[in-house]
Amino acid sequence: MDYQEALEYLDTFVDYEKSTTYKYTDFKLERMQKILERMGNPQNNFKSIHIAGTKGKGSTCAFMFSILKNAGYKVGLYTSPHLLNFRERIKISYVNDLGETRERLINEEEVCKVIEEIKPLTDEIKELTLFEVYTVMAFKFFSDMGMMFAILETGLGGRLDATNVVKPIICGITNISYDHVQVLGGDLTRIAQEKAGIIKEDAIVVSAPQSPEAFKVITEVCKQQKGRLYEVGSDFACDTIGQDLSGSFFDFRGIFDNYENLHISLIGQFQLINATLAIAIIQLLRLYDIVISLIAIKNGLDSAYWPGRMQLVHKKPNVIFDGAQNAASAHALKIAINQLITPGKSVLILGVSKDKDVEGICEHLCRQQSLIILTQGQSKRAMDVDTLASRIPRFQKVIRKTVHVEQALKLAVENAGPEDLILLTGSLYLVGEAFKVLKTINFSPSAKG
């Protein structure tokens, strides 16, 4: 099997990430349990740290992966969705010939090898989804490569998510807000119940700050499972020192140690919460007699990279890509921009998926824009621009419609000067497509002064 054949094989599985017509109950952990048991349960061959929540999961995972990598451990990272290539979902750290710790994605040859080895089982077990196959691939690859740790991000929800077959040493719950309400439920209590479904018996759990409804659920599940619950904001906290477009400096206060003058390159106050959650989990590894040095924590935080989240991709004009796809994420994005940027004017490029809260996103992002450019991604889930336009008339802004992200970026540049801001958001799928065409955009010559 060559790589193209491997991709074609993966395309034979149903991809719920590109569909809005499924039910959450379509997910069955029994399929994952059956195939993994037939494989010898590779997910039991490494120590798992499992992360659920609505926003901040990927950033939190990226911080932990970078810290453990800098501490010299063999660690795998499994996240979703990807921006450009599905191999981004499966990453490992390794030591090169010079003794230096590096990271890399699963390569094409390894993709082929893993698929060839699991294919007899994936052919036999019916109704496997593409995400389930990706997850099986990650577990097998991490096991084959001898990873000591695996950082696992849930794909959707938690209780029935394909990753929820592991027995994690620590669970992390990032901020829970409204998203995927058609699938997970229309109130925070029901959504939190699904997210908290990753909490196992005797679990060690760390939660980011939550709404009262969500935190009540997490507390109740921890009691039921006889777990130990720690909170960011009480057991662990951070104090901001300073922020700009290069990142943030902060102090950390924990139950074992306090750390001063830490730095992250990811932008926005909300990333400090994610970083604090990540450090808290790293510090709690001491409960397993695993002590991570301060230098590994500092270097890991500083070098952590998580593209497409409040990412400054160009200056003069400032161009920011962010995957905000619900009201809470849009609100956090607005606050970050207001804190860090004072543009002459602001141009918004917006494209969303069909099942997203358009009004909630626009309530936070559309009011401060000089121009709104609507576009749509190439995914089948993308909302067409006419439907999107019909959902935001009350914001009474100048609105232009485009059918492709490249066209939208070029139009934004034509209407932005060097001191202005271009913000592209609404979907990580859109952000991924924007990265693909970024090199074709000539920012300076066409920009208006």
Q: 247 and 224, same structural domain?
A: yes
Domains: count for the chain: 2
Q: 346 and 236, same structural domain?
A: no
Q: Domain containing 123 — which CATH number?
A: 3.40.1190.10
Q: 369 and 395, same structural domain?
A: yes
Q: Which domain holds residue 164?
A: 3-303
Mark which of 274, 303, 332 sits at the end of a domain.
303
* DSSP one-letter code for 440: G
* DSSP one-letter code for 383: P
Q: How far apart are CA 158 and CA 160, in angstroms?
A: 6
Mark which of 268, 303, 338 sits at the end of a domain.
303
* Amino acid 249: pLDDT: 97
Q: 170 and 46, same structural domain?
A: yes
- According to DSSP, the β-strands at 311-314 and 90-95 are unpaired
User: How many Cβ atoms are within 10 Å of 325's Cβ, its own excluded?
Assistant: 25
* Amino acid 447: pLDDT: 44
* Amino acid 445: pLDDT: 53
The β-bridge partners of 94 are 102
* Amino acid 19: pLDDT: 66
Mark which of 303, 337, 367 sits at the end of a domain.
303
Q: 252 and 323, same structural domain?
A: no
**pTM metric for this prediction:** 0.93
Buried b (16+ CB within 10 A) or exposed e, 133-147: bbbbbbbbbbbeeeb
Q: 419 and 297, same structural domain?
A: no
The closest of 90, 60, 78 to 153, measured between CA atoms, is 78
Q: 367 and 250, same structural domain?
A: no
* Amino acid 381: pLDDT: 82
Q: 207 and 179, same structural domain?
A: yes
User: How many Cβ atoms are within 10 Å of 439's Cβ, its own excluded?
Assistant: 7
Which regions of the chain are under pLDDT 70? 19-25, 179-185, 343, 393, 396, 445-449
Q: Name the phi and psi angles at 263, rounded to 5.
A: -135, 140
Q: How far apart are CA 316 and CA 232, in angstroms?
A: 37
Q: 217 and 350, same structural domain?
A: no
pLDDT tens column, 329-354 = 899 899 999 888 876 789 999 999 88
Q: How far apart are CA 13 and CA 1, in angstroms?
A: 17
Q: How far apart are CA 206 and CA 237, in angstroms?
A: 12
Token pair 């400096």 in the structure block, residue: 249
Q: 258 and 331, same structural domain?
A: no
Q: 329 and 290, same structural domain?
A: no
- Catalogue the E-assigned strands of 68-130: 75-78, 90-95, 101-105
